[in-house]
Structure 1
Amino acid sequence: MRSMNLRYQPRVDQLRWLAATLVFLYHFQLEYRGLGGAALATPWAGIVTEGHTGVGLFFTLSGFLFMRIAQHNDGVLRYGDYLRNRLLRIAPLFLTIFLVATSIGRDDFQPQDLLYLLATNLGHAPTSATVVTGAAWTISLECLFYLLFPFLARFTLERGARYLLQWLALMAFFKLAAYGVNRNSTLMYFCTFIGRFDQFLAGMLAAMLYRRHRAGLHRHAPWLLAPAAALVIAGSAALHRFAPFGGSPAAPLWIFWSLFESFGWAWFILAWAAFEPRLPRPLERMLCHGGKVSFSFYLLHMGMLHLLAEHVGLVRPSGIGWIDAAVMVALAYGASWALATLSYHTIEEPFLRLRRRYGPARAAAPPTLDEVRPRMQAGIRKWH
């Protein structure tokens, strides 16, 4: 998705696609097991069985991207225009999902439930009462970060990365202090400010490192990418083995899990953002489109999975377990992708066209070689 405040970065859209796909695979395997399909027993499938790690990638990527925008604008963000853009980005689809949730739960609806528009991650939010809209819990945490970010960015640019490290230390204290007070601490760390805000901060810290060490990162990115991916996969395997989500309601590993998870993703983001070799063009276009529609994909895929589970069930065209599972993944993923594309063009895109710049006006940057190359090739074909 193109921003009006920072040059388009295909790598960011590709990371959005990855995050949404991991969350999809996580929910798919839950539905698949619920239908009687075989479970993924090996810890090394943790990147799927604990695919909620895609949410950690989303949060860390948000911190990274917004800090890059703040750096590009020298920390000057017009707060009114900034909030207007955030509202245009989030509200149309989120309100649609909230209205779907309140429609489904009309018999139990109370007027005060409207306050859950501000806190979908707490209590008994209407969106959490049904699997169809359950993914909306993350939106309140994103909005909290959006409200605070201009101030966090300004203070970070004034004081340096030390300011973010101070915040991370405070978050570590809150995590330790909260453990044992809440009997369901695993869920608390999974979906609240205490458990997740440090992931946004880790993304901001990654942006500071990217700016300071950009040349070295671009030079060594191919060597950094594989260890970063290995760390993320190994971390998910450890979580699957020792403290899977949905297991112990008070697993100690979850105290610092989100911080460890975000550091792994921050490393991966840095390596992927600095990785210069281009992907094959059809693949790059497909992944960038997946990133563009990732918000719709994320909020709608659970409804599609539920619909398919209820009305199609297990599909066994070959009778071979892993082949049948792959067929079901492909069908469900394609249907979710098509639905997300429809939602993006119908609900999201018209409002996105109303956005404004929220940083100071700048002279247009010279086009990159990748931006110029298609025009050069078109000119060559014309003369030949």
Structure 2
Amino acid sequence: MQSLNLQYNPRIDQLRWLAATIVFLFHFHLEYRGLGGTPLVSNWAALITEGHTGVGLFFTLSGFLFMQIALAQKTIVYRDFVRNRVLRIVPLFLTIFLVATSIGRDNFQPQDILYLFATNLGHAPTSGTVITGAAWTISLEFLFYLVFPFLARFALERGKRYLLELLALMAFFKLAAYTVNDNSTLMYFCTFVGRFDQFLIGMLAAMLYQQYQPALQRLAPWLLMVAAALVVWDTAAMHRLAPFGATPKSSFWIFWSMAESTGWALFIVAWVGFRPRLPGPVERVLCHGGKVSFSFYLLHMGLLHLLAQRVGLVHPTGRGWLDAAIMVAVSYGATWALATLSYNSIEEPFLRMRRRYGAQRGAAAAELESIRTSSRD
């Protein structure tokens, strides 16, 4: 997806595609297992069975991308930044929220409208049905957007040490919260305490990438292998020690998000710095996947659940693994088409209303104000 404030980098869209695909496979596996299909049990398949790690990639990537913009523009105009973020996420997010409130109309209370700002907390309407359940991340992401211009300004003024200090504070909050929350796994999974450090780690990765870019580009092929191994190891450790949904409280989750985000931050840095280009057709397909990843993410659970309810397990070949692969391919293709439709009809018209929010925008505004003042004088 093109940004008005930073030169387009197809690697970012490819990472968005990867994050959305991992989350898709995670939810496909849940639906497949619920229908009686043979589940994956190996620790080394945890990139799928613990595929919620794709959300960690999304949060880390957001911090990385926005800090790259801040480093390039030097100044973020808060009003225009927030305006762009509203145009980016609210149209589709509001649509999903209205679908959720329509489904749960009989239990809806007027105050539930406030869950627009906190879909990750309590009994939000979007969490009442599986088809809109993925929306919990959006309120949390928007919270990060609201504070980012301040974080960027302070990080530019004080350097990487400022972000490290915030990470130390987050570690303290995690430790303290663990002692008083009986469902700490869910707390770490979907709240500020559990996820804000991932956004900060993404910002820190952007600052390190800018400082050491030539060296990181040279080492990118090796770093990519190390990062992939680290991500696989982290999800395997989670699957073995404290799988999500099976352990309401485990000390593993105290520092899980930091470990997860560190692996993804290294992967982001390595992939962005990786010089060889993918074959043209492959790159175009993956970049399109990144462009429609927001729609793909918010709609995939609904489509997977619909297919599970109306079609169920299919056995076109009689071979379990091949039948599962066919089901993955068909449901993935259907979600891709639905996401493209959603992007074209809901997202893209509003995206064309965005404008610059960096230093260039600020300079232009200042120049215009100067002209207006001169004309009044």
TM-score normalised per structure 1: 0.93
Q: Does 2:317 correspond to 1:318? A: yes
**Identical-residue share of aligned pairs (%):** 74
- 2:87 is aligned to 88
CA deviations on 1:200-224 (whole Å, 9 max, x unpaired) are: 0000000000000001011111111
Counterpart-to-counterpart distance in 2, 1:303 and 1:238: 30
- 2:151 is aligned to 152
- 2:132 is aligned to 133
Which residue identity does 1:22 align to in structure 2?
I
Which residue identity does 1:293 align to in structure 2?
V
Counterpart-to-counterpart distance in 1, 2:91 and 2:26: 26
Q: Does 2:142 correspond to 1:143? A: yes
Counterpart-to-counterpart distance in 2, 1:98 and 1:122: 14
CA deviations on 1:97-138 (whole Å, 9 max, x unpaired) are: 000000000000000000000000000000000001000000
Counterpart-to-counterpart distance in 2, 1:57 and 1:361: 29
- 2:56 is aligned to 56
- 1:298 is aligned to 297
Counterpart-to-counterpart distance in 2, 1:33 and 1:116: 31
CA deviations on 1:120-171 (whole Å, 9 max, x unpaired) are: 0000000000001000000011100000000000000100000000000000
1:37 alignment partner, SS class: coil
Matches within 5 A, 1:194-205: 194-205=193-204
Counterpart-to-counterpart distance in 2, 1:225 and 1:260: 16
Counterpart-to-counterpart distance in 2, 1:83 and 1:223: 37
1:221 alignment partner, SS class: helix
Counterpart-to-counterpart distance in 1, 2:271 and 2:162: 25
Which residue identity does 1:294 align to in structure 2?
S
Counterpart-to-counterpart distance in 2, 1:263 and 1:205: 10
Counterpart-to-counterpart distance in 2, 1:360 and 1:176: 39
Counterpart-to-counterpart distance in 2, 1:56 and 1:78: 27
- 2:366 is aligned to none
Q: Does 2:305 correspond to 1:309? A: no
Number of residues paired by the alignment? 361
Counterpart-to-counterpart distance in 2, 1:237 and 1:316: 30
Which residue identity does 2:235 align to in structure 1?
S
1:354 alignment partner, SS class: coil
Which residue identity does 1:62 align to in structure 2?
S
1:202 alignment partner, SS class: helix
Q: Which runs of 5+ in 2 are unaligned?
A: 362-377
Q: Does 2:353 correspond to 1:341? A: no
- 1:239 is aligned to 238
Counterpart-to-counterpart distance in 1, 2:318 and 2:182: 44
2:359 alignment partner, SS class: coil
**TM-aligned CA deviation for residue 263 of structure 1:** 0.3
Q: Does 2:173 correspond to 1:174? A: yes
**TM-aligned CA deviation for residue 361 of structure 1:** 2.0
Which residue identity does 1:325 align to in structure 2?
A
Which residue identity does 2:69 align to in structure 1?
I
- 2:284 is aligned to 285
Q: Does 2:208 correspond to 1:209? A: yes
Matches within 5 A, 1:369-380: none
TM-score normalised per structure 2: 0.95
Q: Which runs of 5+ in 1 are unaligned?
A: 363-384
**TM-aligned CA deviation for residue 22 of structure 1:** 0.3
- 2:111 is aligned to 112
Counterpart-to-counterpart distance in 1, 2:58 and 2:255: 18
Counterpart-to-counterpart distance in 1, 2:82 and 2:188: 27
Counterpart-to-counterpart distance in 1, 2:58 and 2:15: 8
2:219 alignment partner, SS class: helix
- 1:29 is aligned to 29
Moved over 2 A (4+): none
Which residue identity does 1:32 align to in structure 2?
Y
**TM-aligned CA deviation for residue 180 of structure 1:** 2.9
Counterpart-to-counterpart distance in 2, 1:330 and 1:99: 30
1:241 alignment partner, SS class: helix
Which residue identity does 1:218 align to in structure 2?
Q
Counterpart-to-counterpart distance in 1, 2:117 and 2:309: 31
- 1:255 is aligned to 254
